[in-house]
Chain A
């Protein structure tokens, strides 16, 4: 393999690519190419894994394993395990105690992570309690009432907050907020 010609023009030095044995003047690093092609194959595998994880629900917005739930003696909270930053998602609170008025406490730092967009049904009363946001619902004693909250994550990260239903033991909800 011959060395390329070095052209000197005043203070500018330009080194031309080498001339290969077959006569082609071209810079080709086959060892690098081999490494890169191997990297490409690995990347295709990584792409397949990302698609699989997304189908399983680990990229948010539904999926086979996308929903999680925590329960207490007063009900349960169904939530997405993975949600996306600034994309509304749903929390489903199921209240199982046989009583007319129910109370849902979304304890801090819930409000630091999420904005509540809608609540169905609308609470009779909502206020800030000592532990966080308190929502009171009148269900007229209907057993297994469900409350749907549309929430919008405010920041990416691992959101961990507690939910207390009707004064029962607190449940810890963990949601990964993807950027």
Chain B
């Protein structure tokens, strides 16, 4: 029983902390963010398993975590509002070439991040070549370039 409770508690704690700490933390992963992720994984491993390193404990834990994930995917399907809270939504950062300063500031994204995505995705050189920039729910930035008219 303890293993199941540990698994669910850690799953929910990670869900809340990662969601509330801002999606950029995971989506736009810099080298240090990757190291941070490894540290979090190592830290939670202890809390998940306790002192019991048996195969049974691991199996129960794996089944618990996958079941929790499947359960929440059903919840999101049945109740779209839950999906909004758990996964977030896309945020338009630049619309028709106009940066939305409030959205950029609140989402903790700066124009340098947008330009980086523009260079990587389309080889764009300047901000005025961007028609739309969208911070996706996954944490990545999508760029739609202006077309030559």
Residue-by-residue, is B80-97 near A (CB-CB < 8 Å gives 1, otherwise 0)?
A: 000011001111100110
Judging by beta carbons under 8 Å apart, are A43 and B20 in contact? yes
Q: Is A179 an interface residue (CB 8 A)?
A: yes
**Contact, CB under 8 Å: A27 / B95:** no
Distance of A32 Cα from B137 Cα, bound (Å) = 13
With contacts A37-B106, A39-B20 known, is A28 near B92, CB below 8 A? yes
Q: How far is the CA of A32 from the CA of B103 in the complex (A)?
A: 13
B22 touches A29 (CB 8 A): no
Which residues of B6-43 are within 8 A (CB) of A? 9, 20-22
Q: Is A3 an interface residue (CB 8 A)?
A: no
Bitwise, A14-35 to B at CB < 8 A (1) or not (0) is 0000001011101111001110
Taking CB as reference atom, which chain A residue is nearest B22? Answer: A40
Q: Which of B88-118 contact A (CB under 8 A)?
A: 88-92, 95-96, 103, 106-107
Shortest C-beta distance, A84 to chain B (Å), equals 10
Contacts of B50 in A (CB 8 A): 86
| A60–B50 alpha-carbon span in the complex (Å) | 17
> Is B127 interfacial (CB-CB < 8 Å)?
no
A32 interface neighbour in B22, B89, B95, B144, Cβ under 8 Å: B89
Q: Which residues of A contact B20 (CB under 8 A)?
A: 39-40, 43-44
Which residues from A are CB-within-8-Å of B88? 36
Q: Which residues of B contact A22 (CB under 8 A)?
A: 92, 95-96, 132
Q: How many Å from the CB of B11 to the closest CB on chain A?
A: 14
Q: Which residues of A contact B85 (CB under 8 A)?
A: 36
The interface residues of chain A lying within 8 Å CB-to-CB of B21 are 40, 43-44, 47
Q: Taking chain B's interface residues, is the majority helix, strand, or loop, or is none over half, making it mixed?
A: mixed
A residues less than 8 Å from B91 (CB atoms): 28, 33
Closest residue of chain B to A179, judged by CB? B9
CB neighbours of A28 from chain B (8 A): 89-92
Which chain B positions have C-beta within 8 A of A86? 50-51
- Name the residue on A nearest B96 (C-beta): A22
A165 CB to closest chain B CB (Å) equals 32
In the complex, what residues of B have CB within 8 A of residue A44's CB? Answer: 20-21
- B4 beta carbon closer than 8 Å to chain A: no
Closest to A43 in B: B20
- How far in angstroms is the closest Cβ of chain B from A89? 16
Residue of B nearest to A42 (CB): B20
CB distance from A141 to the nearest CB of B (A): 41
CA distance A22 to B133 in the complex (A): 12
Chain A residues lying within 8 Å of B51, measured Cβ to Cβ, are 86
Contacts A22-B92, A28-B90, A179-B9 given; 13 further ones with Cβ under 8 A?
Answer: A22-B96, A26-B90, A27-B90, A28-B89, A28-B91, A32-B89, A33-B103, A36-B88, A37-B107, A40-B21, A43-B21, A44-B20, A47-B21
Point out residues on B near A: beta carbons under 8 Å. Answer: 9, 20-22, 50-51, 84-85, 88-92, 95-96, 103, 106-107, 132, 134, 144
Interface, chain A (partner B; CB < 8 A): 20, 22-24, 26-29, 32-34, 36-37, 39-40, 43-44, 47, 86, 179
